[in-house]
Amino acid sequence: MTQLSYLNLEEPFGREGDDLVLPLATKGYTPKGILDTMNHRMIYLPFGILAILLLALLLWASVALLFFGALSTAFTRMGFSWSDALLLLAASLVGAGMNIPLFTLESKVPVVREAFVRSFGMVYRVPVMKTVTNETTVAVNVGGALIPVLVSAYLLLSYPTAAAVALGGTAIVALVTYTVARPIRGLGIATPIFIPPLAAAASALLLTAAFSPIPEGRFVTAYVGGVLGTLIGADLLNLPRISDLGAPVASIGGAGTFDGIFLTGVIAVLIV
């Protein structure tokens, strides 16, 4: 049987009978210093900083490829070729930063401001109610709204037998989206990210199973219902509220490629 013995670090050469005797104290080591040295040896980087940066870049590129691969798959399911899908994605990325102004909304907002009145050498602070006119510019984003709407129109013209079902799905998604949409002052209209695509996918599966004879019908219904339904339910039906939210710009599809309108159609197609 092997007996473990502990080294007395307070004595220069340990005690007599120790299994291991080292002149630790004579070299200036202390128990705390030994533990610190062991900790430094246990925690270390397996690669250099440059290698870690390259690995992080590779991981980011892999995630980006998977993301754009999923988007391309969604478009090919609707009958587009891979080249057309890549062209649409590139156009959406370029158009993500482009907003086309449509019109301006004005609203009267009551604001309490402070006025200072001097009387007999004293200064008094008096609250005064004033009405301020706020202007909100309503614009449409090219990548987040205009391109998805044009794609939806193309699909409706290309698959006329699925048009009625797709418009029915649009009405369902618009109703659901309008119900869950919430106005946020200073920001705009916000909707839960997963509810519109789930509503579009569910309505597409149910409606196409009952009324659409073509296999592409459920993909067309999912995309058109997701895009147009979100556009109508979240944006168009809430236009009267936008002027009271205090946002200087209300951009339809304003977050570009990653806006709810664009992603709702794509996610719905991937689900079905």
Question: Can you give the chain as a three-state secondary structure string?
Answer: CCCCCCCCCCCCCCCCCCCCCCCCHHHCCCHHHHHHHHHHHHCCCCCCHHHHHHHHHHHHHHHHHHHHHHHHHHHHHCCCCHHHHHHHHHHHHHHCCCEEEEEEEEEEEEEEEEEEEEECCEEEEEEEEEEEEEEEEEEEEHHHHHHHHHHHHHHHHHCHHHHHHHHHHHHHHHHHHHHHCEEECCCEEECCCCHHHHHHHHHHHHHHHHHCCCCCHHHHHHHHHHHHHHHHHHHHHHHHHHCCCCCCEEEECCCHHHCHHHHHHHHHHHHC
Residues 80-121 have pLDDT tens digits of 888 888 888 888 888 877 888 988 887 766 666 677 777 777
Quick check: 135 pLDDT over 60? yes
Give the angle 133-134-138 at the CA atoms, nearest 5°: 140
Distance between CA atoms of residues 207 and 79, nearest Å: 20
Band of the pLDDT at 2, cuts 50, 70, 90? very low
CA-to-CA separations, 119 to 113, 126, 128, 248, in angstroms, rounded: 20, 12, 17, 39
| DSSP bridge pairs for 105 | 136
Residues 11-23 have pLDDT tens digits of 444 454 444 444 4
Question: Across residues 19-40, what is the average pLDDT?
Answer: 50
Residues 159-192 have pLDDT tens digits of 988 899 999 999 999 999 999 988 877 667 888 8
Q: Return the sign of the alpha-carbon dihedral for residues 264, 227, 266, 138.
A: negative
Task: Pick the closest to residue 173 from 46, 60, 265 (CA basis).
Answer: 265
Q: Is there a contact between 5 and 18 (Cβ–Cβ < 8 Å)?
A: yes
The pTM for the full model equals 0.69
Predicted local distance difference test score (pLDDT) of residue 62:
64
Predicted local distance difference test score (pLDDT) of residue 13:
46
Q: Return the sign of the alpha-carbon dihedral for residues 167, 173, 176, 178.
A: negative
Amino acid residing at 40: H
